[in-house]
Structure 1
Amino acid sequence: MSPRQLPLPLALPPERGAPVLPDSSNAVARTWLAAPDDWPGGRLALFGPEGVGKSLLLRQAAARLGLRVLEGSALRGVPDGLPSAVDDADCAAEEEALFHLINACSSTGALLLLAGREPPARWRVKLPDLASRLRAIHAVEVEEPSEQLLRALLAHHFAERQVRVDPATQDWLLLRLPREAAAVSLAAARLDRAALAAGGAVTRALARQVLADLPFFGAEEDAAADDVSVADGAGGSNRHPTLL
């Protein structure tokens, strides 16, 4: 038996150099990010589910606008009011720090860009004054990607991990995965580890085994099969036997 290669749980570097692919899901956000003079009070917040590209949009806008990037999980103390961008701002380590940062930017006229999973008005904070300031921040949603962007994201995740998956298998996967960016990212990561451990290529059999417990895996395929079955049933004489 050949020795089994064990995958190491190494974190991938942030995709700071990856391009933001224009898509209907991020069109509104890109428009607002391109016009910082139009941000009400010089503040803007991006929100949306995991994996839709909020962090990437925030970081690339920060680089273009000269904003320092802060991580919400590390936000403590009394930060100054330099033009700033806070990723995962809804997970700020200290509410007081976020409160002081908003005030500092407001008093100096500095730009402030935030990102979180929900609009700031819905963030669960205990400080009433912070809640009031968060409600005043204009929020723009980054939506789940279109079919075209999902296809590009899946190919990007495989390329980033240096995993070769033929286009037919990628098409097969897209038919079965939930239409969410986070699901596409998770599937690519799982298949990468599984293929490395097995010492082989990403196949349909491997995907069925590795992704079987993923919520709604195969739902799109099942729905398509149901539609075909109903259409065939309506025709009666046009039905064809299923080939197994």
Structure 2
Amino acid sequence: MTDNPKQLTFDLGMEPRFGREDFLVSPSNELAYNLLEAWPEWPDNVLLLFGPEGSGKSHLAAIWAEQAHAWTIDAFALTKDRVPHLASNGALLIEDADQALIDEAAFFHLLNLTREKGSYVVITAAKPLGEWGLNTPDLVSRLRLAPSVSMEAADNALLGAVLVKLFMDRQLIVDTSIIEYIVVRLARSLSRAEKLVSLLDKEALSRRRRITKTMVSDILGREENDV
């Protein structure tokens, strides 16, 4: 048997944490956070929440959904036969409305029915409404009437704070210089930060070493090559 410097690791994974206590407020998301926190004191029953991938919009929407006891559905799963049931709950979260071929007739019917019933709807998307490719003028007009709020890509302060929390959640001790090193090199994405910390956790365990800048550089290099 030959010696292997690496230790066998098991990918136990960690489920994304979408609790209120796990959401960090910063200038990049403060406006969106305050608006969802103001529920149900909204000017309309529908709210559009925009933000690039990794901005934390799904996390923020999940916080609202828990508070409002909302049902959650992906936009592609919206069909006409489901509309009466979905509108009956009082609150509904529709995710990724710009990423799917939407049944526009069902979508428009749902918005009308939720307004009649006084139900609240939050709709998330990465792209602005004009880039969804909708073909139903009445649906576009209805969505344009709804208030909207955008979340920006994570700024340096937020990304650094999220990295600290992710390392702490995994009980990993890293020097502040490591955080600073990552912040200036990582894409402005909270999901990318979560993936990087997970990879570093496995690498550190495999090597039986603390996390170093060299380790971070190696993993970031691998990630770039895989793109």
TM-score normalized with structure 2 length? 0.78
Among candidates 85, 91, 95, match of residue 87 of structure 1: 95
Larger Rg computed on CA atoms: 1
The 1:135–1:197 alpha-carbon spacing in structure 2 relative to 1, beyond 3 Å, is farther
Equivalent in the alignment of 2:193? 184
Equivalent in the alignment of 1:101? 110
Equivalent in the alignment of 2:64? 61
Unaligned regions of 5+ residues in structure 1, if any? 216-244
Q: Distance in 2 between matches of 1:183 and 1:63?
A: 25
Equivalent in the alignment of 2:143? 134
- Cα drift, residue 143 of structure 1: 1.1
Q: Distance in 2 between matches of 1:145 and 1:114?
A: 20
Among candidates 138, 148, 155, match of residue 164 of structure 2: 155
Q: Spell out, residue by residue over 1:70-114, the C-alpha distance to the aligned partner (whole angstroms, 9 max, x if none).
A: 333543442331321223233356424433322221222211111
Equivalent in the alignment of 1:39? 42
The 1:74–1:204 alpha-carbon spacing in structure 2 relative to 1, beyond 3 Å, is same
Aligned-pair identity (%): 30
Please tell me whether residue 16 in structure 1 is matched to residue 25 in structure 2.
no
Q: Distance in 1 between matches of 2:16 and 2:107?
A: 24
- Cα drift, residue 116 of structure 1: 1.4
- Structure 1's consecutive aligned runs of 4 or more residues displaced over 6 angstroms after TM superposition are none
Equivalent in the alignment of 2:75? 72
Measured on the aligned residues, the alpha-carbon RMSD in Å equals 2.7
- Cα drift, residue 47 of structure 1: 0.8
Amino acid at match of 2:59: L
Higher relative contact order, structure no. (Cα contacts within 8 Å, ≥ 6 residues apart): 2
Among candidates 163, 174, 183, match of residue 165 of structure 1: 174
- Cα drift, residue 142 of structure 1: 0.8
8 Å contact from structure 1 (residues 74, 92) kept in 2:
no
- Cα drift, residue 128 of structure 1: 4.6
Q: Distance in 1 between matches of 2:103 and 2:128?
A: 16
8 Å contact from structure 1 (residues 44, 112) kept in 2:
yes
8 Å contact from structure 2 (residues 24, 162) kept in 1:
no
Q: Distance in 1 between matches of 2:15 and 2:150?
A: 25
Aligned residues: 214
Unaligned regions of 5+ residues in structure 2, if any? none
TM-score normalized with structure 1 length? 0.73
| Partner SS state of residue 86, structure 1 | strand
| Partner SS state of residue 94, structure 2 | strand
Equivalent in the alignment of 2:203? 194
